[in-house]
Amino acid sequence: MKLLGRGQDPAFWTGLKDKKEFERYIRELERYWENTGKSFEISILPYSKWKLFWDTGDRGEYEHVYFARRRFIEHALPLSLIYPEERVYIDKLSDVVFAILDEYTWCLPAHQGQRDKNDNSRVDLFASETAFHLAIIYTLLGDRLDPLIRDRIRVEIDRRIFDTITSCESYGWWETGSTNWTAVCTGSVGCAMMLMRPDLMDEIMEERLLRAMDGFISGFAEDGVCTEGCGYWGYGVSYYVYFADMIKTFTEGRVDLFRGEKMRAIATFPQKMFLSGNAAVSFADGNRTLDYLFAVMHRLKDEYPGDVLIYSPELGSFDGGCGRLEMRLYGAIWLSEDYYNNPADSSASFEEYAPNAMWLTKRTVKYGFAAKAGHNAEMHNHNDVGSFIFAKGGRQLLMDIGSGTYTRQYFSKERYSIFEPSSRSHSVPVIDGEYQFVGKDAAASDVVYEKGRFSMDLAGAYPTGAVKSVKRTFTMDDDKVVMTDLYDMTREATIVERIVTLVKPEVKEDGVVLVGDCRLSWSGDATLKVNTEECAGGTCYLLDFTLNAGENEFKVVME
């Protein structure tokens, strides 16, 4: 039973050299090898780096070394399959695998939960992924690996992962959750188990894994939007798809997790997030640009051919970040030459509204636009009710900065004192000096969408009693977007209309600001001041329009 499909056929890998669709794939592997892999040295992971997370909140020093090892195997494994005659790839791969097997824990310090107790069999995102990586290496290289390496892989996956999972009825919150953690951990553990220990996949274990994956899908509303952000869609859904594909083969079709209209809606989410070129929706902890993953999108296109759009390969990627071997391997295994050579038009106009998430996305030949209502208790939440993005010429111009730098503080009660997740970094009003607050009660109300028009009341997202309502309305034409804010005040208060960009603005004659290719004009009695703040994206320019006393309406035109 070939659980990795054509990936288990050696001729498939050696044959890639003769196919033009895989030229980029091989070029990326060889570039990594020349620039990094050939001279790669295995750095140690000392205790002093491991404990930095607790001492200072820093994640980077430890994770840099940890992920460098995994990026090496991500590239060295396919190279060893494409060029089996070149012993150098498998020799260095064996060294790095040996080092990974020696790691105190496969769990990141940020996920360890405690500092002082010896606990090196915790199963987090990266421990489960590591088990999956090693199970793939074990399966695809077989006897080309030395017996000791093979035996150590079996023993360490058993000890660190399978023994931990099988010794309990349910492993912690992620097994009963609905976030990307649920899909990644469940998918990685389940796939590693099917590859390495199929004897453990009894009726009880299958039921546990399927129940967990049902929980992951339950985290999506019927509109298929991932409010964690586009990147987290790619992360979680990828591991769902790996697992769905493998268990369908493992059970000879008895279990088919691709069925259902909700999964069909989830599969079409990424294509609606591209606004202009690869400039994309970056709400929550997202990125301002997006590359679709060849692996997951080509596989989903197989399941939903009439619904899923595959854009130009220039907008696609084999790299899922953090040394994710699966994303690169499946990027080859599932790549369709037909989809690759016959892409959909990524500049085609569309307008989509997701009523559950309350996200609006629109693309025309002139611009791309996104706006959200929602609430401030979403996964990877930012306080951003009413925020919007205007993109043109392949980049965001009026923007949602997206994710900040991940530290201990970023995921603590200090989160909203940090610029990026707070409403300070979003294009939303500042009312009487107060920003939006966090929580499900901080929500938009009176949300109405009809084609070309999206409106909401933002007042509920602010702690102040200075306003009864803040009616924000977006009117969208083919060549411009008009935003109008109308205030119903309970008392005199200072209103600052904020628009955020990382592009240095050029203030022209009264009423016009140029932000890159975007011409921004406003009406209403307001005074503009451009403030700056440093953020993860660089220098952030805050276009702050202070409404003069007695003014209750502000209008801005983006074109």
Average pLDDT over the chain, rounded to an integer: 96
Q: What local confidence, expressed as pLDDT, does residue 504 receive? A: 97
Burial class (CB in 10 A: 0-12, 13-18, 19+), 521: middle
509 pLDDT above the threshold of 80: no
- Other beta carbons within 10 angstroms of residue 197's beta carbon come to 17
Q: What local confidence, expressed as pLDDT, does residue 115 receive? A: 86
H-helix or E-strand containing 14? helix 10-14
Q: What are phi and psi of 470, to 5 degrees?
A: -130, 95
Sign of the Cα pseudo-torsion (414, 416, 419, 424, in order): negative
Q: What local confidence, expressed as pLDDT, does residue 524 receive? A: 79
Give every CB contact of residue 316 below 8 A, 6+ residues apart in sequence. 291, 292, 293, 294, 297, 310
Q: Label residue 312 by pLDDT band (50, 70, 90).
A: very high
Q: What local confidence, expressed as pLDDT, does residue 158 receive? A: 98
Q: All domains of the chain, ordered by start, with CATH?
A: 5-341 (1.50.10.100), 350-558 (2.70.98.70)
462 pLDDT above the threshold of 80: yes
Residue 426: which of 475, 374, 482 has the closest Cα?
374
Residue type, 235: Y
463 pLDDT above the threshold of 80: yes
Cα 86 versus chain centre, distance? 35
Q: What local confidence, expressed as pLDDT, does residue 464 receive? A: 81
Q: Label residue 228 by pLDDT band (50, 70, 90).
A: confident
Q: Label residue 160 by pLDDT band (50, 70, 90).
A: very high
pTM: 0.93
Give every CB contact of residue 312 below 8 A, 6+ residues apart in sequence. 343, 346
Q: Are 499 and 543 in contact (CB under 8 A)?
A: yes
Interval 366-382: pLDDT, tens: 999 999 999 999 989 99
Q: Are 426 and 387 in contact (CB under 8 A)?
A: yes
Question: Within 116-229, where are the H helices?
Answer: 125-141, 147-157, 163-166, 172-175, 180-196, 203-218
Reduced to 3 states (helix: H, G, I; strand: E, B; else coil), residue 54 is helix
42 pLDDT above the threshold of 80: yes
Distance CA 286, CA 387 (A): 14
Q: What local confidence, expressed as pLDDT, does residue 221 receive? A: 84
Question: How is the chain split among helix, strand and coil, in percent rounded to 5?
Answer: 40, 20, 35
If you average pLDDT over residues 94-113, what whole number do you get? Answer: 96
559 pLDDT above the threshold of 80: yes
